[in-house]
Chain A
Amino acid sequence: MAAVVVENVTKQYGALTALAGVSLRIEEGEVFCLLGPNGAGKTTLVEILEGHRGRAGGDVRVLGFDPAQGGRAFRDRIGIVLQHGGLDDELTVAETTRYYRSLYARPRRAEDVIALVGLQSKAHTRVKTLSGGQRRRLELALGIVGEPDLLFLDEPTTGFDPSARRQAWDLVRALRAGGKTILLTTHYMDEAQALADRIAVIAKGRIVAEGTPDTLGDRHRLDARIRFRLPAGVAFADLPPSLQHAGSTPNGRCELRTADPVPLLRDLTTWATARNLDLDELSVDRPTLEDVYLELTRE
């Protein structure tokens, strides 16, 4: 069953078209990631699904509800981590968590979610004295305290230190293992790669690509790259012809692109071994998610 169905949704802010007909489907139990440049329309779309914003046109179903009309029953089943949300400065972390947990039908224990986001030692600290990343972690705790079936995470790990980010990733994986559905936006490609079952790239209010982290933008079919630094005294023209054919030398480094890297590597290493040459910084890789993303969202 689909947790979220979006059909041809449009959104205007005055003369600005923020969403120009977006359609997507998120299955139950999946982690769906929205990527896109600043101002692409991610937050607009997510907040339409949350019920925070209206839409100009199109159809939306979230857990079977129209979020524009969704009442208490709908909001009891979703959890929201806003890109910009407020907290009462004068309350402590524990008080804030207890305040929000009391609004739900089947909440988690406050201590448990505080521990899950690693704020145990700050439980009795006033919100106003939290660091930016700690505040964000509290917001994550509030997103899950109602035990939602569907969790919206709009750039949840912005400001997290690396270990807090890993902890948040584990949290997302645990929620997924528990059958929850998660809609995530992020600007961190490693985060999308690590967490997403599926990714949609949105640019200027349109979905420009959709796929798994490994297949997005036909990434799995793109050429592999062999890269190394040309040894001193060796020119590009001295390389074997098969390599020259596939290669280029951007700023003194050799870059070979090929669908089939093994024969080229054999030619390269045979050539270098015969001449007793070092191949500094030799690497073989496929384009990363970031490469694909940059290509897809290029102006």
Chain B
Amino acid sequence: MTLPSPLALLLHQTVYDHRIFWRSVAPAFFVLVFPLIMLVVFTALFGNELIPALGVTTAQFYAPSLAVYGAVNAAYVNLSASTVTRREQGILKRIRGTPMPPWVYLAGRLLFTATIAFFATAIMVGIGVAAYGVRLFAHTLPAAILVLLVGVACWAALGLLLSTFLRDGAGAPAVASATLLPLAFISDVFIPPTVQMPRWAELIADWFPLRHFTHALGDAFNPSLSGSGFAWSGAPGEYAMLHHLAVMAAWGVIAAVIAAWRFRWQPNPEGVA
């Protein structure tokens, strides 16, 4: 008999992570339900009218930006917190004592995270289409899917990086949210860009990979823009997301390298030396 193939183990891990996720209430709520509640609240508060400065309706703006918020919750908050908890409890240590290759385990967790993020986005957009007249465009769909993929990978890498700094699994979601929420407020997730922000906030938002994510996905839902999105920065009125992708990819690669270097499987730091 031979050892199971990496591909089989990858799928195995993904399936089990789903099982655990769907049985844990809090992560599922923040990834799936909370963004939907926000969509309902915002459209109720502002009315689902056309916002002239944006050229889209309230729901057409919020569906993609709240989908990004859900995806980032799956990738950054849930992945970091569950990793910290599993390390603290000694689950990672147990895994490390089996023939599961470490990189396949982590790849399985990333695949799980990506599937959750895509599912959450599909639900968000689906409800937007069904209930709020949100429109999808075939010509931007490939770009939107690629944006979602790179954005989730970037934030998952940041989540794994965050997990290497934390010890306490119960406190990890709070730390993750506390670092994410302030950024979300200046990254056009909850507050549309029609609101004028101070310059320093603009600069910060431009540096970090969250607003790039919301704009890259949101623009794919903007009917007043032309083009497929596969352009570096584009002419005025053209959908261009490659520069957003580049920023997210750079963050993701750097975060992944540092996370891989810092990653520990043992609950006690002195355990390996």
Q: Is the CB of A91 within 8 A of B93?
A: no
Q: Is the CB of B266 within 8 A of A52?
A: yes
**6 residue pairs, one from A and one from B, having the closest CB atoms:** A86-B89, A86-B90, A86-B91, A90-B23, A72-B99, A106-B1
What's the minimum C-beta distance from B14 to chain A, rounded to whole angstroms? 12
| Chain A 224-266 residues near chain B, CB threshold 8 A | none
- Which residues of A are found within 8 Å of B90, using beta-carbon distances? 82, 84-86
Interface stretch among B2-10, B114-122, B158-166, B229-237?
A: B2-10
Q: Is the CB of A103 within 8 A of B270?
A: no
Known A87-B91, A142-B94: A76·B271 in contact at CB below 8 Å = no
Interface status of A160 (Cβ within 8 A of chain B): no
Q: Is the CB of A103 within 8 A of B98?
A: yes
Q: Is the CB of A103 within 8 A of B272?
A: no
Interface status of A51 (Cβ within 8 A of chain B): yes
Known A102-B12, A103-B9, A105-B3: A75·B20 in contact at CB below 8 Å = no
Interface status of B97 (Cβ within 8 A of chain A): yes
Instruction: Name B86's contact: one of A51, A53, A86, A99 (CB within 8 Å).
Output: A86
Closest to B94 in A: A85
- Which residues of A are found within 8 Å of B97, using beta-carbon distances? 50-52, 75, 78, 80, 82
> How far is B89's CA from A90's CA once the two chains are assembled, in angstroms?
13
What's the minimum C-beta distance from A106 to chain B, rounded to whole angstroms? 4
Q: Is the CB of B1 within 8 A of A54?
A: no
- Which residues of B are found within 8 Å of A106, using beta-carbon distances? 1
What's the minimum C-beta distance from A36 to chain B, rounded to whole angstroms? 19
0/1 per residue, B113-137, Cβ < 8 Å to A? 0000000000000000000000000
> How far is B86's CA from A41's CA once the two chains are assembled, in angstroms?
25
Known A13-B270, A75-B99, A104-B99: A90·B24 in contact at CB below 8 Å = yes
| Chain A 80-97 residues near chain B, CB threshold 8 A | 80, 82, 84-88, 90-91, 95
- Which residues of A are found within 8 Å of B12, using beta-carbon distances? 99, 102-103
- Which residues of B are found within 8 Å of A100, using beta-carbon distances? 98
> How far is B12's CA from A102's CA once the two chains are assembled, in angstroms?
8
Closest to A126 in B: B23
0/1 per residue, B239-273, Cβ < 8 Å to A? 00000000000000000000000000011001111
Q: Which residues of A does B touch, CB under 8 Å?
A: 12-14, 47, 50-54, 56, 72-73, 75-76, 78, 80, 82, 84-88, 90-91, 95, 99-100, 102-106, 142, 146
- Which residues of A are found within 8 Å of B4, using beta-carbon distances? 102-105
Closest to B266 in A: A52
Per DSSP, chain A at the interface is: loop
Instruction: Name B93's contact: one of A56, A82, A90, A99 (CB within 8 Å).
Output: A82
What's the minimum C-beta distance from A259 to chain B, rounded to whole angstroms? 48
0/1 per residue, B69-112, Cβ < 8 Å to A? 00000000000000000101111111011111100000000000
Q: List 13 A-B contacts (CB under 8 A).
A: A47-B271, A52-B266, A72-B99, A84-B90, A86-B86, A86-B88, A86-B93, A86-B94, A88-B86, A88-B91, A99-B12, A100-B98, A146-B98
- Which residues of B are found within 8 Å of A104, using beta-carbon distances? 3-4, 98-99
Q: Is the CB of A91 within 8 A of B20?
A: yes
Q: Is the CB of A103 within 8 A of B19?
A: no
> How far is B8's CA from A47's CA once the two chains are assembled, in angstroms?
29
What's the minimum C-beta distance from B238 to chain A, rounded to whole angstroms? 47
Closest to A51 in B: B97
> How far is B266's CA from A58's CA once the two chains are assembled, in angstroms?
22
What's the minimum C-beta distance from A145 to chain B, rounded to whole angstroms? 10
> How far is B100's CA from A80's CA once the two chains are assembled, in angstroms?
14
Closest to A90 in B: B23
> How far is B8's CA from A126's CA once the two chains are assembled, in angstroms?
25
> How far is B100's CA from A54's CA once the two chains are assembled, in angstroms?
20
> How far is B86's CA from A91's CA once the two chains are assembled, in angstroms?
14
Instruction: Name B96's contact: one of A52, A91, A142 (CB within 8 Å).
Output: A52
Q: Is the CB of B93 within 8 A of A85?
A: yes
What's the minimum C-beta distance from A48 to chain B, rounded to whole angstroms? 10
Known A76-B3, A102-B4, A105-B1: A82·B94 in contact at CB below 8 Å = yes
- Which residues of B are found within 8 Å of A14, using beta-carbon distances? 270
- Which residues of A are found within 8 Å of B89, using beta-carbon distances? 86-87
> How far is B273's CA from A264's CA once the two chains are assembled, in angstroms?
58
Closest to A56 in B: B273
What's the minimum C-beta distance from B84 to chain A, rounded to whole angstroms? 12
- Which residues of A are found within 8 Å of B9, using beta-carbon distances? 102-103
> How far is B24's CA from A76's CA once the two chains are assembled, in angstroms?
31
What's the minimum C-beta distance from A67 to chain B, rounded to whole angstroms? 10
Q: Is the CB of A95 within 8 A of B19?
A: yes
Interface status of B16 (Cβ within 8 A of chain A): yes
